[in-house]
Amino acid sequence: MEAAGGSLRVDPALEEILTQEVRALLRALPPEGRAAQGLARVADALRQGEVPENALPALEQVLTLGLGTGRLLELHGRAAQTMALGLYAKTPAGRARVRQAEAVSAALTAALEGAVLKAVTLSAEGPSGHRLLLETDRGDVQLRLDRLGIQVENLVVSL
């Protein structure tokens, strides 16, 4: 699953699974639509074992849908899910999420280093979101985690 230029190579085992997923999506979409055209490019690319840069947005959608709904895990098992997560992390959207998580981690580490953690509260928010509250002796940090990524929603510093 290495990048070759602007394209991504797909492991043959994952290639077959993703081809099945693309076929299922194509059966559910009108054939003349833009989504179906993008999926057809992904299907063609999967047959070649490498997805070109212009088909990556459609591949990202296939992976997001399969991973986000749990479909890949349910129908194809943990190994398929793990391979799909690895491939997603190499897409432009996946790399952006990795960078976002790294930036939030670095900011939290810098802000909370040496602080005494008093409480951690995780609450569900809607069908796909969570809010994380970290209470320390120096103040509180509130994070929102959802399909869009991680956002610092509130920062209260005690003086």
Q: Does 143 have pLDDT greater than 80?
A: yes
Together in a domain, 86 and 111: no
pTM: 0.78
Residues 121 and 58 in one domain: no
Q: How far is CA 63 from the centre of its chain?
A: 8
Q: 99: burial class by Cβ within 10 Å (0-12, 13-18, 19+)?
A: exposed
Q: What is the pLDDT of residues 50-103, one digit of tens each?
A: 999 999 999 999 999 999 899 999 999 999 999 999 999 999 999 999 998 899
Residue 76 lies in a domain: yes
Q: Are residues 84 and 25 in the same domain?
A: yes
Is residue 72 domain-shared with residue 111, that is, in the same domain?
no
- What's the pLDDT at 5? 61
Average pLDDT for 43-55: 93
Q: How many domains does the chain have?
A: 2
Which residues constitute the domain of residue 72?
3-90
Q: What's residue 156's pLDDT?
A: 84
Check residue 147 and give its pLDDT: 82
